[in-house]
Amino acid sequence: MNLLIGLAPFIIFFVLMRYDISLALWGAFAAAFVLCIRDFMKTGVLRVLDTSSIVLFGVLAIYTGFIQHMTIPATRLAVDATLTGIILGSMIFRQPFTMQYAREQVPSDFWATPLFIRTNYLLTAVWGIAFGLTSTADAAATFYPAYVSLTVSVAMGLLAMTVAFLFTIRYAALVRRQAGLPEVHWFR
């Protein structure tokens, strides 16, 4: 569930973009800032996704508000492509972004096990693929709007995110059972 909360600025952006792109970017920036500060005060850790979200939405909000207005498909492409890069970069630097969230739910003596590490690489890869597919749909809507509408792009993104979220929940539960760890209640 903490991972879903970490994605809250992106969810806020995608909900508010229907009304106004600047509102969506500033709303996502504010959410990212609040989450980052809240989690830092609680854990003393700055998560990659949280800090990247602040930078991403802050830069895009300033750019769109003061330099040049961006279309919704172009802004979605910038957000999703950057998030894909962050996710893939976290794997390249051997710190899959899901690991920071998983450590909050798993005892520390499990963190160095091959199962924990492999699971986080797999889950991060699934999210990377989902956002990669979403970025591809956004690029098609941006550069070929006659062939791929914003509605189709959004639908493809929602489908990819839903699959990634459901896979994360189910696979994490399977691994927890195999490792003899207590079940996580996602929606309490």
Q: What is the pLDDT of residues 131-159, one digit of tens each?
A: 999 999 999 999 999 999 988 988 999 99
Specify the amino acid at residue 37: I
- What is the average per-residue pLDDT within 3-12? 81
| Structural domain includes residue 166 | yes
- pLDDT reported for residue 3: 67
For the chain, how many structural domains are there in total?
1
| Structural domain includes residue 188 | no
Mind listing the pLDDT tens digit for each residue in 48-86? 888 999 999 999 999 998 998 888 888 989 999 999 999
On the question of pLDDT at 124 being above 90, the answer is yes
- The predicted model scores a pTM of 0.85
- pLDDT reported for residue 187: 44
The stretches of 17-113 forming alpha helices (DSSP H) are 21-43, 48-62, 72-92, 97-102
| Structural domain includes residue 61 | yes
Helix, strand, coil % in the chain, rounded to nearest 5: 80, 0, 20
- pLDDT reported for residue 70: 87
Mind listing the pLDDT tens digit for each residue in 26-40? 999 999 999 989 888
Give the domain range for residue 58: 2-179
| Structural domain includes residue 184 | no
| Structural domain includes residue 92 | yes
